[in-house]
Chain A
Amino acid sequence: MTIELKNVTHIIDTQAAAEETMLREIKTGVYTLENPYVKLNPYLVAPLTALIYFQTPEETETTVTVKGKEAAGDMSFSYPKAKEHYIQVLGLYENMANTVEISAGAGGREILTIQTEKAPANVLKPSKIETSADYLGNLCIFLSPTSPAATAAYDYKGDVRWFSTLNHAFDLKRIKNGRLLIGTHRLLMPPYHVTGIFEMGLIGKIYNEFRVPGGYHHDEFEMEDGNILILTQAPARGTVEDMCVLVERQTGRIIDQWDYQTVLPQFPVGGSGTQDQHDWFHNNAVWYDKKTHSLTFSGRHQDIIINIGYDDKKLNWIIGDPEGWPEEMQKYFFQPVGDLSRFDWQYEQHACVVLPDGSIMCFDNGHWRSKVKSKYLPAKDNFSRGVRYRINTEKMEIEQVWQFGKERGADFYSPYICNVEYYGEGHYMVHSGGIGYVNGEPYDLPAVAAPKDAELRMNSVTVEIKDDKILYEMQIPANYYRAEKLSLYCPEDVLTFGKGQLLGTLGVTEEFDTVPDLPSGGPVPDKYGVKLAQEKDRLVMKAVFEPGQMVMLLLEGEETHAYFIPTTKRPFLAMCVGTFLENDERAVEMPISFEGLSGKFKLSLIIDEYKYDTGCEIQI
């Protein structure tokens, strides 16, 4: 079999080349308001965006309006005075000749038509949208998927007005410079840990990739000074999702870390119904609170939200059902007060948020809804909800002051993922994005982990509530990790030119120091479907092996570097993101970081009793 070593250009380099071409075209032409330069999808990953360029003789203000299907759907944005106008066009409709109006100064007005292509099938349409243009205005609800679907933004009518063609994972947040922080599409460790996060403008330009050696999962948080908290892990110790790092914004360097193994007892202590030794905590959210200078983390697999001092890194408190926790930990738990008839603890929760008054909100998935196996609630009898707890850290008392979702029962039940948003007193979003039915019945496990032969139906329900009145509800037939309400246009999201940066590091991939001395088997047999790709910072091998085969990838140069490749998948009980899963369960993906490697290497594979030649060489 001839194996091709494919060269894969990093999206930042691809975008840099596209930008260079675009700027060359702009410089070599004469573009006026009447004859502007128009580039649809200029950064190749956001097909419902465009860049318009023109010059005016005098400095003029400009306004761009993407005309809606009806007047309420118009999206406008004004730019300050300039002679050279680089206009970001956001909010185009898919598969439509969009009308875009540009006004420049007094009397200057041009109507353009921008034709977009039909969105791919994974840009799903809502099955239900109930709101008003008055309520949502120019804001959109962004959804990031966990089942096969695209990250997309939906307007008040449920029309998609933005989507990304990259397979992003997990959270999506707007940061102070108006751009988005969003998970990369580069898988680091199956099933869903990716290389890090992108800082991306809405026009699709990626300004930075912040790489983290242990990979990124679930959530991140921009600090006031611009540094970024990123949830990660230390893979060499054999556990996952139990560490947070602080990444320096300018360099991507890790400058601090919080390790939950130092403050919490681990498996099997406090275990939720989904806990195992490998994923004992399952940290799915981080929040920094300036008032208390502390960090709050959600740990799904211990059914707890914990608070840790930012500087001393000591445990301050735990919100959760204290049943079964050891005596020495009980002092960290709260005692419920108030109307106990409506009080419920949260179980396998997500998205902890610290509110201005110090109270805590989260999405209470309610998965299993007990610390005791014999009392686990099946999905059909269960519920999920957004919940707000007021806490008194002096008296260690907790009071449930608000919830939404319990009354909807199993039809709002998500055993995984989801989030809540706080917009102001009495004004919240509750996003139940992980609803699944198998053979018509509410499913007890994440829908993306359902058996392949099952009749599966997924749903995602996003609700906004103000003063206990529902003002927005969208349903869409897939599973979505989080929902965020954002405007597409943002004054701070200024397009700047120049190549994006690859910051931080992937770290050194753990090598295996025992290399079996085996006879040659010749070229790698076709049946393994081996594919090799060389990226800027790593080598990625994909292949299909039977579970239980012994596989090792060798980089043979002046020194030999050997990497053991697991072929038996570790059961991941919390399959938070299924978008990276291959259809063939035997599929294996193994990235090897170039960190620490240098030189020319021959690539070989050990498979069981033989050593095979891939016929490929790599220069690092």
Chain B
Amino acid sequence: MIKELNQAAYEAMDKSVPMALEFFSKNCGPCKMLSYVLKDADKQTPDFPIYQIDFNENTELKERLGVKGFPTLLFFRDGVEVERMEGLKQKPAIIKAIERLQA
């Protein structure tokens, strides 16, 4: 499941379940490509929640999470970041990260 969020929605959500959070920018080729990769990954792991947040519009959150560029993919377990991927990644790497998170 892929869903776009803003900071308010992020703050309000239940973070107890494993999830991924992608910081993207609308004017970024790798981010556009990553969105297709995430859709592809989502077909394989449809129950795993992936949230997308606009890097430029959610500055307080990105600073709090120490996100310096885009795309950046953060993986959380029990609300704690356990893995981070910076830059464009391929589907197998993302699927493996999801599997590690769910293990």
Contact B88 A564 (CB under 8 A): yes
Closest chain-A Cβ to B74's Cβ sits at a distance in Å of 17
Contact A238 B87 (CB under 8 A): yes
Number of interface residues of B (CB under 8 A): 15
The interface of chain B, by Cβ under 8 A from chain A, is: 25, 27-30, 32-33, 36-37, 40, 87-88, 90-92
Closest chain-A Cβ to B92's Cβ sits at a distance in Å of 7
A263 to B50, CA, bound (A): 37
Contacts of B37 in A (CB 8 A): 514
Closest to A512 in B: B90
Known: A238-B87, A552-B33, A564-B33. A513 touches B92 (CB 8 A): yes
Contact B91 A550 (CB under 8 A): no
A151 to B49, CA, bound (A): 56
A535 to B92, CA, bound (A): 32
Closest to B68 in A: A277
Best-surrounded residue of A514, A516, A549, A608 (most CB of chain B within 10 A)? A514
What are 6 A-B interface contacts by the 8 Å CB criterion? A513-B91, A516-B33, A548-B25, A564-B88, A566-B30, A567-B29
Known: A513-B92, A514-B91. A550 touches B33 (CB 8 A): yes
A597 to B99, CA, bound (A): 32
Closest chain-B Cβ to A572's Cβ sits at a distance in Å of 15
Q: Verify if A568 is at the interface (C-beta below 8 Å from B).
A: yes
Best-surrounded residue of A550, A567, A568, A608 (most CB of chain B within 10 A)? A550
Known: A552-B33, A564-B33. A514 touches B90 (CB 8 A): yes
Best-surrounded residue of B36, B37, B92 (most CB of chain A within 10 A)? B36
A328 to B51, CA, bound (A): 40
Q: Verify if A521 is at the interface (C-beta below 8 Å from B).
A: no
Quick one: which of B28, B87, B90 contacts A513, CB cutoff 8 A?
A: B90
Q: Verify if A547 is at the interface (C-beta below 8 Å from B).
A: yes
Contact A566 B29 (CB under 8 A): yes
Best-surrounded residue of B29, B36, B88, B91 (most CB of chain A within 10 A)? B29
Contacts of A568 in B (CB 8 A): 28-30
Contacts of A548 in B (CB 8 A): 25, 27-29
Closest to A517 in B: B36
Contact B29 A549 (CB under 8 A): yes
Quick one: which of B27, B28, B29, B36 contacts A551, CB cutoff 8 A?
A: B29
A 582-620 contacts with B by CB, 8 A? 608
A566 to B30, CA, bound (A): 7
A551 to B30, CA, bound (A): 9
Contacts of B25 in A (CB 8 A): 548
Quick one: which of B27, B30, B36, B87 contacts A514, CB cutoff 8 A?
A: B36
Contacts of B32 in A (CB 8 A): 550, 608
Contacts of B29 in A (CB 8 A): 547-551, 566-568
Closest to A545 in B: B29
Contacts of B92 in A (CB 8 A): 513
Closest chain-A Cβ to B39's Cβ sits at a distance in Å of 8
A309 to B32, CA, bound (A): 45
Contacts of B28 in A (CB 8 A): 548, 568
A238 to B30, CA, bound (A): 14
Contacts of A549 in B (CB 8 A): 29
Given contacts A550-B29, A566-B30, could you give 4 more A-B pairs where the C-beta distance is less than 8 Å?
Answer: A514-B90, A516-B33, A547-B29, A548-B28
Contact with B along A543-562 (1 / 0, CB 8 A): 00001111110000000000
Closest chain-B Cβ to A135's Cβ sits at a distance in Å of 53
Contact with B along A501-517 (1 / 0, CB 8 A): 00000000000111010
A550 to B40, CA, bound (A): 17
Closest chain-B Cβ to A510's Cβ sits at a distance in Å of 9
A514 to B40, CA, bound (A): 7
A 508-546 contacts with B by CB, 8 A? 512-514, 516
A552 to B32, CA, bound (A): 11
Contacts of A566 in B (CB 8 A): 29-30
A512 to B30, CA, bound (A): 12
Contacts of A552 in B (CB 8 A): 33
Closest chain-A Cβ to B68's Cβ sits at a distance in Å of 10
Closest chain-A Cβ to B93's Cβ sits at a distance in Å of 10
A514 to B30, CA, bound (A): 12
Closest chain-A Cβ to B55's Cβ sits at a distance in Å of 13
A238 to B87, CA, bound (A): 9
Q: Which 4 A-B pairs have the closest CB atoms?
A: A550-B32, A548-B27, A516-B36, A550-B29
A549 to B40, CA, bound (A): 20
Contacts of A547 in B (CB 8 A): 27, 29
Closest to B94 in A: A514
Closest to B25 in A: A548
A243 to B40, CA, bound (A): 34
A547 to B70, CA, bound (A): 14
